Amino acid sequence: MSSKKRIEDEAGYQTALDYLTEHGPILDDPLPDPKHDIEKIKRIYAVTEQRIHEYKRGQMVLSDPGRRKTYEAAGVEVQEFKKS
């Protein structure tokens, strides 16, 4: 992914979900409004979706550290969190 911006907290997670909810129908429309830059929305949508998955996997690893090996074996990214 080109951007390494992370989802920092639950508010950021909700903002990311809101983006997907708002822009998903635009991408699903077979006759999109020409005012929308569909290629840009697709790129942002893909990055946002990836960050959501990384964030949730990171949360799962916090609650169950054994999952890290499973995620590593699957070759998927996990967001790291600083322990408080």
State the DSSP string of 20-68: HHHHHHHHH-SS--TTS-HHHHHHHHHHHHHHHHHHHHHHHHHH-TTHH
- Residue 84 scores a pLDDT above 70: no
The pLDDT of residue 64 is 96
Buried b (16+ CB within 10 A) or exposed e, 36-55: eeeeebeeebebbeebbebb
The number of angstroms, rounded, from the C-alpha of 77 to the middle of its chain's C-alpha atoms is 11
DSSP 8-state class, residue 75: T
Give the pLDDT confidence of 55-82 residue by residue, as tens digits.
999 999 999 999 999 999 999 999 998 7
